[in-house]
Every structure is written in structure tokens, then in C-alpha cells.
Amino acid sequence: MKSLNVELGERSYPIYIGADLLANPGLLRRHIPGNSAVVVTNTTVGPLYRHTLNTALDGLKTETVILPDGEQYKNMAVLNQIFDALVEGRFDRNTTLIALGGGVIGDITGFAAACYQRGVHFIQVPTTLLAQVDSSVGGKTGVNHPGAKNMIGAFYQPRCVLADTSTLSTLPDRELSAGLAEVIKYGLLWDREFLDWIDAHLNALLNRDNAALTEAILRSCAIKAEIVRQDEREGGLRALLNLGHTFGHAIEAGLGYGQWLHGEAVGAGMCMAADLSHRLGWLSQSDRDRVIDLIARARLPIGLPPTLDGRTLRQRMSADKKVINGTLRLVLMRELGSAVLVDNVPEELINETIQFYTEVHPRHEQQP
């Protein structure tokens, strides 16, 4: 097992990374201060791992809430299913909510923990690569609004993150690739050396080599922990973690949540961010093409879905959380390994990038 800390003063917490961590009951129990816990999972992950987790909670008052699986269920109505279980079970303020699943489960459970009785304890047990490297770390929680992704939520830190790499053995190939999008993101926005490492080890990652996956998770979490340490509530620096997300969130909302996985939309979004960075004169054409080729090798889409037109995409981008006083802010790349938050990108360049990815071109035909 490897571990690192997210350093946030009194809200600091550890991230544990390794195989078979769910089978270590003491590891989880040390972070549960009360005598009750509610496990929130979904119809896919629950049958695989909730019994192992419940064994670790033996002796506590427990309940399991099983939600439907999919981004389309990350909404207020499904959130209320968690509140219903908490109220009906008379769980008190010293209860710990445990998120067992991917990013949707982590986000919605964390938001429930932030709201129930104005805040109860919360633990992340991510079971997808995307959640292990990104969404489980940093305390962003929330649900989607029909008009925009993650528009309703709260910053609320967990007591710990337990990333059991053994759970990745049951992850579908499509979900694995979606997680690799976020791994690639860290190299592109922060660490050129890590980007080179990803490039060299991509086949090992796709083949689920445990040593490679553990290293990718550890390095991704270390980058995110450092950024969150400096900017917990996204006053500036943390916004860089949204590289590819303004385009990606617009793709998700424009298609309808659940049609593409989040990581798939982010993969295409990073290609678009790379192209726009090239049009601004920051990335060379070879660097832009390197980004596109790496994302394609990760078995991710590298262009817009054929059912989404450019005008709809641009409209959806205007609903992004980073729009301030009517101005769209984009995360782009000054160079590979160095991202920047940009205001007032010329509209004609944005439209050129959108047009580039809506044209019929063999390079951009890969779809989920």
C-alpha cells in the first residue's frame, strides 16, 4: 500500500492506494468516529463489493443505499433517495456516509454528506480509475442540473480516500479508458515528465498492469493534492484541473447525460483545447497532434459526436461554471505540461476549433 496526504490543515486527510484494501477492515474503521455508517453504491458496483465492505463495518449500525447506475441519475431526485434512507433510519450527526463506486456515486454521496444535518462524516471508496485519480480527491461534490453539469454542489472534504486497485479488474475497458483521460490531463496541465511517462507506459495501463496503474494513480493524486492544497475552493489555480472540461461538459449536456462517459467527453475536450491552444500560437502543430494521437491511443473519442452540432456545443459552453460576468474562461495550454486560465479568447478562434472537430476527417471519427 502507498499513501499520501491532502494537506488542508484541520481538514487534511490521507489517500490510500493499493490492492485488496477493502479486505483490511482496520484501515477503514480508523476513519469512522461514530457507531453508524451508510454505504451508498449503485446497481453495478453494489453486487461486487458491498458485502466485503459491510464485513469491515461489522458491529456498527449500517444501511446500504443502492442507486441506479449512470450519469443521468446524478440529480436532485436520486439525491433524495439518500436523504430518505438517512431520515427513515434515524441516522444522527455522527453517522459516516461511505461512497462505494465511481465519480457519480462519490459526487452525490459527498453532497448528501455536506447537506444532511448540515454536515456528517464522509469517506470515498472509488472503484473506477477516473474516480481514483480525480473525482474522489479534493472535496468537489454535487449533482447535475438539466442545463449544466455539476451546477449544484458544495466543497466538502472526505475523511479519507481508499483506492483499492483490485476493483479495477472488473472495470469495463470503456471505463478504464475514460479514467485514462484524467490521467493524461494531469500530464498536460502540470507535469511534462509525467506526460512522457504516460506516453511510454500507455500499453501497460491499457493492459491493467498493477504496478503501472498504481504509479499513475499515485502521481495523479499527488498533483491534484498539491493543487488543492494551494487552492481548495477554486479561486484560480484549481480551475486548471478543468482542462478539456468546458468543451467536455458541453458535449455531455448537449448529448444528454449518460450517452458519453465523462472521461470520453473530457478526452475529446482536451483535443479541442489543444487545437485552440495551437490557433493561439502556443502549441506547435506537432504538439497538438501529439495530444490527439495520445488520446486516440487511449481508445478515447477525439472529435465531436456526429449527433451534436457546433452551435449547440457553443451554447452549452456558455452555461459553464467558469463563465464569469458573461465572459467564458477556458483552460488552455501554453505548452505541454503547463496550463493557463484564459479570458476573452477570440470568438472566431473558438468557432474555428469547433468547426475543425465537426468536419468529416478520418482522424476524428473514433466514437464510443
Q: Hey, which residues are catalytic here? A: 118, 140, 182, 224, 234, 238, 242, 245, 249, 262
Name residue, grid cell 497532434. Answer: 289
Three-class secondary structure assignment of 315-361? HHHCCCCCCECCECEEEEEEECCEEEEEECCCHHHHHHHHHHHHCCC
All cell numbers assigned to 263: 472521461
Element (H, E) at 18: strand 13-18
Give whole-number Cα distances, 181 to 72, 145, 185, 190, 357, in Å: 20, 24, 6, 14, 18
Number of H helices, E strands in the chain: 13, 11
Under 8 Å between Cβ of 186 and 223: yes
The radius of gyration computed from the CA coordinates of the chain, to the nearest angstrom, equals: 20
Query: What 3-state class would DSSP assign to 120?
Result: coil
Measured distance between the N- and C-terminal CA atoms of the chain, rounded to whole angstroms = 34
For residue 130, what are the contacts with CB-CB under 8 A and spacing of at least 6? 102, 103, 175, 178, 179, 181, 182, 262, 263
DSSP string, 188-255: HHT-HHHHHHHHHHHHHHHTT-HHHHHHHHHHHHHHHHHHHHH-TT-SSGGGGGGTTHHHHHHHHHHH
- Buried (b) or exposed (e) across 84-107, using 16+ Cβ within 10 A? ebbeeeebeeebbbbbbbbbbbbb
**Hey, what's the torsion of the CAs at 255, 257, 262, 268, to 10 degrees?**
10
Q: Are 336 and 345 in contact (CB under 8 A)?
A: no
